[in-house]
């Protein structure tokens, strides 16, 4: 039989912690069970490839070869503009034959 003292004393609190559920198959692999990539997986791939491309471009511009190729491109661009201007001038002149 319960005593008056045991009815007025609250029970001690339960010591427990909340544990997240184990990650799902999709979270671990990035694919559904049917083999379709998840949106998060595809986004991560795109972001990783973009970051790699940007980093490679930055590194390439810092090398001597990168500077040389930029210089060569600028020279070709100037030569192409000069040639185009020359062609436009010849088209504006009447034929003197």
Each residue's pLDDT tens digit in the chain (97 positions)?
Answer: 556 555 566 777 778 787 778 888 888 899 999 999 999 999 999 999 999 999 998 888 888 888 888 899 999 999 999 999 999 999 886 655 4
- Start-to-end Cα distance in the chain: 128
Q: 70: domain range?
A: 37-91
Cα separation, 64 vs 70, in Å, equals 10
Residue 15 domain-assigned (yes or no): no
pTM equals 0.47
Per the domain annotation, does 11 fall within a domain?
A: no
Q: Domain tally for the chain? A: 1
Residue 97 forms part of a structural domain: no
User: Quick check: is 56 in a domain?
Assistant: yes
Q: Which residues pair with 31 in a beta bridge?
A: 37
């Amino acid at each position: 039989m319960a005593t008056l003292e045991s009815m007025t004393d609250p029970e001690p609190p339960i010591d427990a912690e909340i544990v997240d559920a184990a990650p799902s198959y999709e979270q671990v692999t990035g694919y559904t069970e049917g083999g379709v990539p998840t949106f998060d997986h595809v986004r991560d791939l795109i972001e990783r490839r973009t970051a790699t491309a940007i980093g490679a471009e930055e590194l390439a511009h810092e090398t001597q070869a990168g500077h040389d190729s930029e210089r060569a491109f600028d020279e070709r661009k100037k030569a192409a503009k000069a040639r185009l201007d020359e062609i436009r001038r010849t088209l504006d002149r009447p034929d003197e034959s």
